[in-house]
Amino acid sequence: MSRLARLALLVAFAGGGAAHAAETVALFAEKIYPAPDAPAIADGVVLMRGGKIVAVGARGQVKVPKKARVSECGGGVVTAGFQNSHVHFVEPRWNDAAHQDAKALAQSLDEMLTRYGFTTVVDTGSDQANTVALRTRVAKGEVRGPRILTAGTPLFPPDGIPFYLRDMPPAFLAQLHQPRTAEEAIAAVRKNLAAGADATKLFVVSPQGRTGAKRMPLEVARAAVEETHRQGKLVFAHPTDLDGVRVALAAGVDVIVHTTLGEPAPWDDALLKQMVSQNMSVAPTFKLWVYELKKEDVPQPVVGMLMTAALQELRSFNAAGGQTLFGTDVGYMRAYDPTDEYVFMAQAGMTPMAILASLTTAPAARWKEEQRRGRLAPRLDADVVVLSGDPGTDVKNFGAVRCVFRGGVPIYSAPQTP
């Protein structure tokens, strides 16, 4: 793709969005995966207009209007837009998002998220006011980037801020909720949601470094969950260990945002059955475990042993019928490329289409947005990813993103390869 073509792909977002929305865009593809549970389409086309998908099908079966504009990004492998269900906007690059230069923010979003196909992301904890400001600017079209859902300010156990957050600015730390009672938890949830949060995040077990961990009382966690559910929102939890998973289950949490690591025994059948029966989803974040273990100089044989056990947790969870959501903890983790996560998920027994589901249909269902997004079908949002290779033959190709559209508007195009 030439530099001129790449600029043409992005010009709509930079000022021609209204004109772009009124026209029909034809995106031709070598292969289309309309959804994980639908047959792939060879030599196909996706028609987009007004932010929605108009038609999807084989080239000879879809009538392309004569006045349709043919996208410069045709020729690759096309899927619905991806969701990363575990990100953070906590790096200094996001400071003062309300007033930062729009191009600088868009570049930061490109580097961390958009270039990897993410059209929707879930921030599971950050400076709430700052993230809401970023979300608002993206939603208004001032900043090019993915749709942002946020859990706002997390809730921690009493005196239980994790050791790895203690170097954050004092003003930020002072905002963190550490409820001691059910009443305080309810008040914190109400404040969080009223300020614009889309969900609640609980640290049911908060790592304290070498001094162990602080644990959220069950009645506090349960009160936070019940108030969040009363307002029609989801609850995410950081479990840390097996007891944390059990507390999350007892409280009624919807999603745990990590597997556990270093447990003496794997998740047993009774636990797995309860997780599935309560419709608890898991975002495994395998790459994070390797990232953290490397920082601690853990010997490679030990890393291998710990990762084998973590992969088995997800393998057993999926075999029991559990729902997996793709998530990496990127933003806290400074290694942005998610390709290793796809490889780990495959090693945990997930097929390419199961991984695609974790990126598309599963999060859409979890957020009750199946009628809006998650697959390529008429009347759904035109959130589209174009890959340079087929993930059905190599899961690493999920990370080989050429172009990204959100609502039919191009928000990312990979630089030309010499």
pLDDT tens digits, 188-197: 999 999 999 9
Split at pLDDT 50, 70, 90, the class of 16 is very low
Q: Is 50 exceeded by the pLDDT of residue 110?
A: yes
Give the model confidence (pLDDT) of 154-196 as tens digits.
999 998 888 888 777 787 788 889 999 999 999 999 999 999 9
Split at pLDDT 50, 70, 90, the class of 25 is very high
Q: Is 90 exceeded by the pLDDT of residue 320?
A: yes
Q: Is 60 exceeded by the pLDDT of residue 11?
A: no
One-letter amino acid for residue 121 of the chain: V
Flag the least confident range among 11-20, 85-94, 110-119, 208-217.
11-20
Contact 11, 353 (CB under 8 A): no
Contact 204, 221 (CB under 8 A): yes
Domains of the chain: 3-80+374-413 (2.30.40.10), 82-366 (3.20.20.140)
Dist CA 414 CA 400 (whole Å): 9
Close Cβ partners of 294 (under 8 Å, ≥ 6 residues apart) = 303
Mean pLDDT of 370-392: 98
pTM, entire model: 0.93
Nearest of 361, 356, 362 to residue 342 by alpha carbon: 356
Mean pLDDT of 229-245: 97
- Based on DSSP, count helices (H) and strands (E) in the chain, helices before strands: 14, 18
